[in-house]
């Protein structure tokens, strides 16, 4: 479940992919934990709409490809 409180912990849910614009409408999210998933590729615009996000964790994934624009719009990121 995605939280509107500012923090979402989705670790260990076997998420295989994140579609473009998957987080639109969640602009208040400040921290997102996607660790220990099944992610291998970060697609373009995967995190679009997360204007306030400052912490993103993708640890424990086997990411082999990061597409152009995967992190576009993440101007406040402090921790990745």
The domains of the chain are located at: 1-80
For the chain, helix (H) and strand (E) counts, in that order, are 0, 5
Q: What is the pTM of this model?
A: 0.82
Name the pLDDT band for 1 (thresholds 50, 70, 90). very low
CATH superfamily of 1-80: Ribonuclease Inhibitor (3.80.10.10)
Residue with tokens 């992919």: 17
DSSP structure class, residue 53 = -
Could you give the CA distance from residue 45 to residue 43 in angstroms, rounded to a whole number? 6
Name the pLDDT band for 14 (thresholds 50, 70, 90). confident
């Amino acid at each position: 479940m995605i939280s509107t409180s500012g923090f979402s912990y989705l670790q260990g849910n076997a998420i295989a992919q994140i579609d473009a614009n998957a987080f639109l409408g969640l602009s208040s999210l400040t921290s997102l934990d996607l660790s220990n998933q099944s992610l291998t590729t970060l697609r373009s615009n995967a995190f679009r709409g997360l204007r306030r996000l400052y912490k993103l964790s993708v640890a424990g994934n086997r990411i082999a490809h990061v597409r152009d624009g995967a992190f576009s719009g993440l101007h406040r990121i402090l921790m990745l």
